[in-house]
Chain A
């Protein structure tokens, strides 16, 4: 973190150029927030600011910073908590040769498997003598098709709505 003093008012401004954009690339805009703890304003000089004073100013805002972080963590939890653990591709790609397109298809059917047949090993639905990647994918898709489909069963609720 770099700090630079501007001779405008009584506070330091932390330059955030580039850091927010970088954060947005790694997350969504709602989870990237800037909180200006110390901001320059025209009435006062920054000349009287020193490290001790800055520590004090920031220290006075710990509750606000803590509150913001908690709110953002709650928001992030809404997204993270409902992402199912994906099945790994390795057990399949080690046995059969998948083209790039077939890997995408495999990824997709395994993602569906994680939702519709959670806890069941997808490999058990593939015949041991399955000749190719194509047949493997078809076996998985057909196995899913044969499963009972009840879309009205209770779905795991995300974290409670923010107040």
Chain B
């Protein structure tokens, strides 16, 4: 799988780096001073690099825990995110990473303890309050876990920090570390899901929806809180039919009681990233479909987006209580409980 590994000289002797290198004995190893020498140069082609990404082992300096966008969250007051990895082994056509990063190489920051120390400092800034940390913004949280072992370290950290809540966002079925550990209430394993045809069409290399649901069931059986992330919602003429079938499939596999939260978000992306995506995939119909620039984010029209969210909420409230539903809008860039008017329009009775 990995044929080339770049490694920063300062971490070359780190035990974790050696473990990773030992997993790929045939890989060509190239030393570097900083990962940015490989990752940041201009004029790289993300699409070509996706043919055979390299792995870059590095040390993360500077801020390791960042504030989540205003209003973003799933019920918590204090929301942050962190990225122990950059880039993802999957190749989802709609993914913003290919618009944001110049390189498709995977970067693994192996100074996990520094991330945890940053999380501790963040917790100290909010004494006696719960704090949410979101993982999976710059990568898939679990896809490379057999290589990184990050989940095990994270769970150990979380066991003694009941105020720290983590969302592990993933499409992966690499859940061995979670199955091997006792479930803890402050780690939510959140799976991104799209209709099966949509996953087949856009989510290259990612496990099929049925496999993800199987993994979710295994986790639910062990008591892990689960999240459903219907994000991005992708529109075409068969939108309602596809998503109705998806919801039926999901709730045939999972008991609603196993769910911590369900979130929705229509396809949306910063304009600058979207332009890069068009350059990379000029023939992709998704990028040519009716999208608008709304407040710097490329998304569907406000009307279309509201219709999509309304439809999904109406369907989902037949399965889960409204207080577990959250939606994200391109306009407000908020990720909160759906506004009352949308719930009412969706036929959800006012509480």
- A residues with a Cβ closer than 8 A to B are 24-25, 27-31, 75, 78-79, 82-84, 111-112, 115-116, 141, 144-145, 148-153, 155-156, 161-162
Provide a sorted-by-A list of 14 A–B residue pairs whose CB atoms are within 8 angstroms.
Answer: A27-B43, A29-B44, A29-B45, A30-B45, A75-B48, A78-B51, A79-B45, A79-B48, A115-B285, A149-B290, A151-B198, A152-B201, A155-B284, A155-B285
**Within 8 Å CB of A111, what residues of B?**
278, 282, 288
Whether A152 contacts B198 by the Cβ 8 Å rule is yes
- B residues with a Cβ closer than 8 A to A are 41, 43-45, 47-49, 51-52, 197-198, 201, 234-238, 278, 281-290
Whether A152 contacts B45 by the Cβ 8 Å rule is no
**Within 8 Å CB of B289, what residues of A?**
116, 149, 151
Whether B282 contacts A31 by the Cβ 8 Å rule is no
**Within 8 Å CB of A115, what residues of B?**
282-285, 287-288
State the CA gap A71–B47 with chains docked (Å).
Answer: 15
State the CA gap A30–B50 with chains docked (Å).
Answer: 11
Whether A116 contacts B51 by the Cβ 8 Å rule is no
**Within 8 Å CB of B198, what residues of A?**
151-152
Other-chain residue from A27, A83, A148 in contact with B282 (beta carbon distance below 8 A): A83
- Residues A152 and B238 in contact in the complex (CB < 8 Å), given A30-B44, A30-B45, A82-B282: yes
Residue of B nearest to A142 (CB): B290
**Within 8 Å CB of B290, what residues of A?**
141, 144-145, 149
Other-chain residue from B45, B234, B281, B285 in contact with A116 (beta carbon distance below 8 A): B285
Whether A112 contacts B288 by the Cβ 8 Å rule is yes
Given contacts A28-B44, A30-B49, 7 further A-B contacts (CB under 8 A): A27-B43, A79-B48, A149-B289, A151-B285, A152-B201, A155-B283, A155-B284
A84 CB → nearest B CB, Å = 5
State the CA gap A27–B42 with chains docked (Å).
Answer: 11
State the CA gap A162–B284 with chains docked (Å).
Answer: 21
